A and B are shown apart, each in its own frame.
Chain A
Amino acid sequence: MSDRIFGSILTALALALFVSATQLESPFFADPLGPKSFPFIVSGAALICALSMIIKPDKDPLWPSIKTFIKLFTAIIILVLYALSLKKFGFLFPTALASASLSYLIKPNFFKSSSTGIVLSLSLFIIFKFGLGLSLFPFPKFLTG
Chain B
Amino acid sequence: MELFQNLALGFGIALTITTLSLAIVGCILGTIIGALPGLGPSNGVAILIPLAFTLELDATQALVLMTSVYYGAMYGGRISSILLNIPGDEPAMMTTLDGYPMAKKGRAGDALVLSGVSSFVGAFLATIGLMLLAPILARVAFYFGPAEYFALYLLAFCTLGGIGADNQAKSAIAVCLGLGISMIGVDNSTGMTRFTGGNLHLYDGVDFLVAIVGLFAVTEIFVFIESRGKDSAIGVKLGKISIPFKDIYLTKWTMLRATIVGFIAGVLPGAGASLGSFLAYMSEKSLSKEKGSFGTGDIRGVAAPEAGNNAAAGGALVPMLTLGVPGSGTTAVLLALLMTLNITPGPLLFNERPEVVWGLIATLLIANFVLLILNVPLVKIFTKILQVPASFLLPGVAMISFVGIYSLSGSYFDLLLMIGFGVLGFTLRKLKIPAVPVILGILLGSHMEVSLRRAMVLSNGDWTYLFDSYISVGLWIAAIVGFVAPIFLRSYLKKPTPIGD
Contact = CB atoms under 8 A, between A and B. Distances in A.
Contacts of A133: 54
A107 B394 CA distance: 11
A54 to B, nearest CB: 10
A52 B161 CA distance: 15
A17 B461 CA distance: 23
Interface string B373-412: 0000000000000000111101110111011001100001
Interface in A41-65: 42-43, 45-46, 49-50, 52-53, 56, 58, 61, 63-64
Interface string A30-42: 1111110111001
A79 B189 contact: no
Dominant secondary structure at the B interface:
helix
Interface string B437-454: 000000000001100111
A35 B396 contact: no
Contacts of B194: 21, 24, 35, 39
Interface in B230-285: 231
Interface string B157-179: 00000000001011011011101
B483 to A, nearest CB: 12
Contacts of B231: 107
Contacts, number: 181
Contacts of B172: 45, 49
Contact of B221 (A50, A102, A124): A102
Contacts of B180: 13, 17, 39, 42-43, 46
A92 to B, nearest CB: 11
A60 B16 CA distance: 55
A53 B170 contact: yes
Central interface residue in A3, A31, A61, A104, by most chain B CB within 10 Å: A31
Contact of A83 (B54, B419, B448): B419
A80 interface: yes
B173 A53 contact: yes
Interface stretch (B26-34, B79-87, B425-433): B425-433
Dominant secondary structure at the A interface:
helix
Contacts of B461: 32-33
Contacts of A14: 176
A33 B452 contact: yes
Interface string A86-106: 110001000100111011111
Given A35-B192, A98-B399, A107 B389 contact: yes
B226 interface: yes
Given A58-B432, A83-B416, A124 B167 contact: no
A72 interface: yes
Central interface residue in B170, B194, B399, B402, by most chain A CB within 10 Å: B399
Nearest to B448: A38
A22 interface: no
B169 A52 contact: yes
B423 interface: yes
Interface in A92-145: 95, 98-100, 102-107, 109, 112-113, 116-117, 119-121, 124, 128, 132-134, 136
B189 A50 contact: no
Given A10-B173, A106-B228, A106-B229, A124 B399 contact: yes
Contacts of B398: 79, 98-99, 102
A113 B394 CA distance: 12
Interface string A62-76: 011000100110011
A124 B400 contact: yes
A81 to B, nearest CB: 10
The interface size bin for chain A is 35 or more
Contact of B452 (A25, A38, A64, A98): A38
A12 interface: no
A76 B419 contact: yes
Contact of A86 (B412, B423, B452): B412
Contact of B222 (A20, A45, A75, A116): A75
Contacts of A64: 226
Contact of B195 (A17, A84, A87): A17
Contact of B187 (A35, A112, A124): A35
B183 interface: yes
B365 interface: no
Given A39-B183, A53-B170, A83 B222 contact: no
Interface in B179-207: 179-180, 183, 187, 189-190, 192, 194-195
B230 to A, nearest CB: 10
B415 interface: yes
A129 to B, nearest CB: 10
Contacts of A63: 430
A30 B407 CA distance: 37
Contacts of B406: 86
Contacts of B55: 132
Interface of A: 2-3, 6, 10, 13-14, 17, 20-21, 24-27, 30-35, 37-39, 42-43, 45-46, 49-50, 52-53, 56, 58, 61, 63-64, 68, 71-72, 75-76, 79-80, 82-84, 86-87, 91, 95, 98-100, 102-107, 109, 112-113, 116-117, 119-121, 124, 128, 132-134, 136
Interface of B: 51, 54-55, 167, 169-170, 172-173, 175-177, 179-180, 183, 187, 189-190, 192, 194-195, 218, 221-222, 224-226, 228-229, 231, 389-392, 394-396, 398-400, 402-403, 406-407, 412, 415-416, 419, 422-423, 426-427, 430-432, 448-449, 452-454, 456-457, 460-461
Given A80-B419, A82-B402, 5 more contacts: A32-B456, A45-B172, A46-B180, A91-B403, A103-B392
11 contacts: A6-B427, A25-B192, A30-B189, A38-B448, A45-B172, A56-B169, A61-B431, A71-B225, A95-B399, A98-B399, A107-B391
Q: Which 5 A-B pairs have the closest CB atoms?
A: A32-B461, A83-B415, A99-B395, A46-B176, A106-B229
